[in-house]
């Protein structure tokens, strides 16, 4: 059971490094998605299911807003 938080931590670090090194804004969104994929199980493992439910709504909405901002910057 102690290996799972380590695996999720590695996923979070991988996403962080990728988002930090990526130059394309869309690639940064992929890195942020990887970070979210690692954080959500950790939040649920700690028992904060209500926070995980809120994040499940907030993360996609913020992605939509960021995509709209990237689109405005391209024109």
pLDDT in tens, 3-25: 999 999 999 999 999 989 988 87
Q: pTM of the prediction?
A: 0.77
pLDDT, tens digit (0-9, with 9 covering 90-100), for 25-58? 788 888 888 998 999 999 999 999 999 999 989 8
Main-chain phi, psi angles of 24, to 5 degrees:
-75, 130
Helices (H) and strands (E) in the chain, counts: 3, 0
């Amino acid at each position: 059971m102690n290996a799972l938080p380590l695996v999720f931590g590695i996923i979070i670090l991988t996403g962080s490094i990728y988002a930090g090194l990526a130059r394309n804004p869309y690639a940064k969104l992929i890195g942020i998605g990887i970070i979210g994929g690692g954080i959500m199980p950790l939040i649920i493992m700690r028992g904060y299911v209500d926070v995980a439910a809120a994040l499940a709504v907030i993360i996609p909405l913020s992605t939509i807003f960021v995509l709209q901002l990237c689109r405005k910057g391209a024109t």
